[in-house]
Amino acid sequence: MLSDPNVYVYSPYNNRPKITWPNGARVAFWVVPNIEFYELYPPPHPTRKDMARPAPDIQFYSSRDYGNRAGLWRLMEVMDRYGVRGSVSLNVAVCDHHPEIIEACLKRNWELFSHGVYNTRFQYGMSEAQHREFIEDVIATIKKHSGQSVAGWLSPALSNTEMTLDLLAEYEVLYTCDLFHDDQPQPVKVKKGKLISMPYAVEMNDIMVFHQVAARSPRHYAETIKAQFDQLYEEGAENGTVMCIPLHPFLIGQPHRIGPFAEALEYITSHDGVWVTTGREIAQHYYKYHYDDVVAAQLQSTRK
C-alpha cells in the first residue's frame, strides 16, 4: 500500500496561473445527478458491504429505486426551470433497465459520464484485464445508447484501484471526479496520455449532507450551497473556480427537499459571471487554454 497516492503534485492555492472561463465568468458551475441502479441481490464483494441488512435489504433498495421512478423527474423539472444541464454520473446498466431515463437526459442535451455499471459493483480488487473489460463495457454502452464519448469518470460507489487513473487516460477519458483535493481542475499524473481531476465537492454531495456525515435538514443544505457559492464567486474574481453540486435523485428529489434546492439553484443562476455548464465543457476548455500552463508551472515549482 502507498502512503501518498502520488497522483498529483502539491500545488498551493496561492500564486497559481490564472484560470479564466468563457465570457469572463468567475465560476464554472456544474450539477451532477448520480443516476444509479442498485441490485436487490448484489454479488458479495470480498472487501466492502454497503447494505446493513442481509439481502434483500428492501429499505436500502426501495429508497434508491425512488430516485428513478419519482425523484429524478422532479429534479429534471427544477433544472429545466433554471437552465441547468446535468452532467450525469451514470451507472450504465440504467441504459438497459430504464432507457426512458436516457431518452429524457438526451432530450435535455445532458452529458452522460461513467459511474460504472451498477452501484453495487465495486472496482476494488479488479485485475488489469477485468478493469479493462469493465471500462470498455462502460464506454461501449454509453456510446451505443447516446452516441456520446465518455469524458468523465466517477468510480462506482467511489471504489478505486491503483490502476484506475492510468487506464482512464489510456482510454481517453478527460476527467476524473474521484479526487477531492481542489476547487480548480488539476492535472493528474498518469503513465500515458493526459487526465485532469474535476472538482466534485464531496461536502456539497447530498448523500454526505443528508445521510453519511451531517444529517442536515433540506433548508440547511440550501444554506450551505449558497455559502459555498458566495465564497467561490468571490475568489473567482481573481482566479476562476469550479462549483459542483453532486446529487442523488433518490434524496434531493424527495418532495421535502426539492423546494429548498430549487431556491439554491435560483440563487446561483441569478448571478452574472456564472458559467452554467457541464463537466465535459469545463474539461475541454481547461485542456485548450490552461492545461499546459498549469503543468509547466507545477513542474517549475517542483524543481525549485
Partner 1 sequence: MALPNEYLKYPIRKYGMDQDYYDWSITFRRTPVVWPNKARVALWVTPALQWYPMDLEGKPVAPPGMFNRPYPDYRNYSHRDYGLRVGVFRVMKLLDDLGIKASVPMNSAVAERYPVLVEEVNKRDWEIIGHGVHMGRMHYEGMDENLEKEFVSESIATLRRISGQPIRGWLSIGKSESSKTPDLVASQGVEYLCDWANDDLPYEFRTSKKALWSMPHTLEIDDRHLLFELKQRESDYVQQIKDQFDTLYRESEQYGGRILSIALHPWVIGHPYRIRYLAEALRYIVAHDGVWAATGADILDTFRKQQG
Q: Which residues contact partner 1 (rule: CB under 8 A)? A: 37, 39-41, 43, 45-47, 53-56, 58-59, 62-66, 68-70, 73-74, 93, 96-100, 117-118, 121, 124-127, 130, 133-134, 137, 215, 217-220, 254-260
For the chain, give the number of residues.
304
Please tell me what DSSP assigns to residue 18.
P
Smallest distance, partner 1 to C-beta of residue 190, A: 23
Question: Which lies closer to partner 1 via its Cβ, residue 15 or residue 52?
Answer: 52
Joined together, the cell numbers standing for residue 229 give: 457559492
Q: Cα 40 to chain center, whole Å? A: 24
Smallest distance, partner 1 to C-beta of residue 108, A: 15
Cβ-based neighbour number of residue 147 at 10 Å: 9
Q: How many helices (H) and strands (E) does the chain have?
A: 12, 9
- Cα–Cα distances (Å) from 189 to 91, 151, 155, in that order, read 26, 17, 17
Smallest distance, partner 1 to C-beta of residue 302, A: 35
Question: Which lies closer to partner 1 via its Cβ, residue 254 or residue 277?
Answer: 254
Question: Which lies closer to partner 1 via its Cβ, residue 257 or residue 280?
Answer: 257
Question: Which lies closer to partner 1 via its Cβ, residue 115 or residue 285?
Answer: 115
CB 152 within 8 A of CB 177: yes
Residues 19-47 as b/e (b if ≥16 CB within 10 A, e otherwise) read bebeeebbbbbbbbbbbbbbeeebeebee
Smallest distance, partner 1 to C-beta of residue 91, A: 10
Question: Which lies closer to partner 1 via its Cβ, residue 12 or residue 43?
Answer: 43
Question: Could you give the CA distance from residue 225 to residue 185 in angstroms, rounded to a whole number?
Answer: 20
Identity of the residue numbered 122: F
Question: Which lies closer to partner 1 via its Cβ, residue 121 or residue 290?
Answer: 121
Smallest distance, partner 1 to C-beta of residue 163, A: 13
DSSP conformation letters of 96-130: HH-HHHHHHHHHTT-EEEE--S-TT---TT--HHH
Question: Which lies closer to partner 1 via its Cβ, residue 44 or residue 147?
Answer: 44
